[in-house]
Homo-oligomer: A and B are copies of this chain.
Amino acid sequence: MALADLSAEELAAFMTAQKSAYNDLKARGLKLDLTRGKPSAQQLDLSNDLLKLPTTHIAADGTDTRNYGGLHGLTEIREIFAELLGVNVDQIVAQGNSSLTLMQQVLVDCLLHGAVDSERPWVAEEKIKFICPVPGYDRHFSLLNSFGIEMITVPMHADGPDADKIAELVKDDASIKGMWVVPTYANPTGDTVSQEVAAKLVAMPTAAPDFKIFWDNAYALHHLTDVETKSVDVISLAASSGNPHRPILFASTSKVTFAGAGVAFLAASTENIGWYLGHLGMSSIGPDKVNHLRHAQFFKDADGVRAHMRKHAEIIAPKFAAVERILTERLAEHDIAQWTKPLGGYFVNLDVLPGTATRVVELAKEAGIALTPAGASFPLGQDPHDENIRLAPTMPPLEEVEVAMDGVATCALLAAGEYLAKS
């Protein structure tokens, strides 16, 4: 029965039961962590052969990977990920261990130099704004905020960000210079941008001539089921829409091989690639090509990556299934929460009773279960409804995920009961 439909007496009995359950939970002295989207040690183990690679330092084209040079990254690793990301090899560069770093570089280049289609460096503009689909990735928002860029939120739907709302915003406001989106298995909702939504985003008229879509395809390959959701080929789509320089695609092997020692990729129009490398060449004599060769030898080819990702799914899919099972068992009948059932990615988006997310996270913390701070998936950490909680089940062992989720359910019920009792 929905919690909101209970009589005062029933609610009081419910609260007594939940308080008792919560006290039992606290008494267990747990120390569990569902905060960050990190791979587990078991997942990292899948790539341990990397530690003994490469077996040679000479690349296929004769390059001595140990020395300086090769700003665009090693050809063999670019070829593998060009195929996986559906771009041409000359439209992709391979760099260091973090795609977030590449996003920051592009943003800094836009600020200090201007994009290929900018009239002036962005710092010369009076104001700069970005569109941020919410809920979204907290590090995107922190980065924008660090540069004083104003963030305008739009809703993230099952087929991607609200393209009509975005089109309406950007058509007259030249200070809106770009937007971020995680197109496949989005952080945290797991939603994937449809071909139709992507087509609108790359084709819509923008007052800013240099509007950029930061297409952060972090989870392009991270399927949880046999459904291998295809990412939209946004670069070709933008080119055929007459806005070839609008999207810049980012990806990495952070959640494929080693989170801290992988390879990051940037893909875009050849003009954008030339622009990026032109600025990059001022501060780099080339990325770690030994690590590129290490990864190329490890994967062998694109199918090698696909097979590798299925091993990840075998490890983490049961954790996502546990989240789904426990939330359904514990919460469904009370009608106080909704949550996503992602087909890929790293997160489950849990919306608890509006007004209670902060309290749920607080209760969980007191019981030894660390959750991402409430509101983290919104710019400046401000969830207007205080309902959103991002669950990250990949890192802890399955048994801990189960215990933690049961605890989270108890906290969500207790917080909902408290809230309804007060109102």
Contact = CB atoms under 8 A, between A and B. Distances in A.
Interface of A: 36, 38-39, 41, 44, 47-48, 51-55, 57, 64-70, 96-98, 100-101, 103-105, 108, 111-113, 123, 139, 142-143, 146-147, 254, 258-261, 279, 282-291
Contact of A261 (B38, B98, B288): B288
Given A52-B52, A108-B108, 18 more contacts: A36-B68, A38-B67, A44-B64, A66-B258, A67-B259, A67-B260, A68-B260, A96-B96, A96-B288, A100-B283, A113-B146, A139-B282, A139-B285, A143-B282, A143-B283, A260-B285, A260-B288, A261-B291
Q: Quick one: which of A38, A68, A100, A143 has the most chain B CB within 10 A?
A: A68
Contact of A66 (B64, B103, B147, B261): B261
A64 B288 CA distance: 21
Contact of A288 (B67, B97, B147, B284): B97
A261 to B, nearest CB: 4
A285 B282 CA distance: 23
B65 A260 contact: yes
Contacts of A101: 283-284
A93 B67 CA distance: 23
A290 to B, nearest CB: 4
A105 to B, nearest CB: 8
Contact of A108 (B112, B287, B288): B112
Which of A51, A54, A70, A260 counts the most B-chain CB atoms under 10 A from its CB? A260
A51 B44 contact: no
In the A-B complex, the 8 residue pairs with the smallest Cβ-Cβ separation, listed nearest first, are A104-B283, A261-B290, A66-B258, A44-B66, A68-B259, A146-B282, A261-B288, A97-B288
A68 B38 contact: yes
Nearest to A70: B260
Nearest to A104: B283
Nearest to A289: B260
5 contacts: A65-B261, A67-B259, A100-B283, A123-B123, A259-B285
Contacts of A55: 51
B44 A147 contact: no
A52 B53 CA distance: 6
A105 B105 CA distance: 10
B146 A279 contact: yes
A105 B68 CA distance: 20
Given A65-B260, A108-B112, A51 B41 contact: no
Contacts of A143: 282-283
Contacts of A67: 38-39, 41, 44, 258-260
Nearest to A107: B283
A260 B290 contact: yes
B51 A54 contact: yes
A260 B286 contact: yes
A116 B279 CA distance: 26
A178 to B, nearest CB: 16
B285 A288 contact: no
Nearest to A124: B123
A258 B285 CA distance: 13
Contacts of A65: 260-261
Nearest to A148: B112
Contacts of A139: 282, 285
Given A68-B36, A70-B260, A283 B112 contact: no
Contacts of A57: 44, 48, 51
A64 B103 CA distance: 26
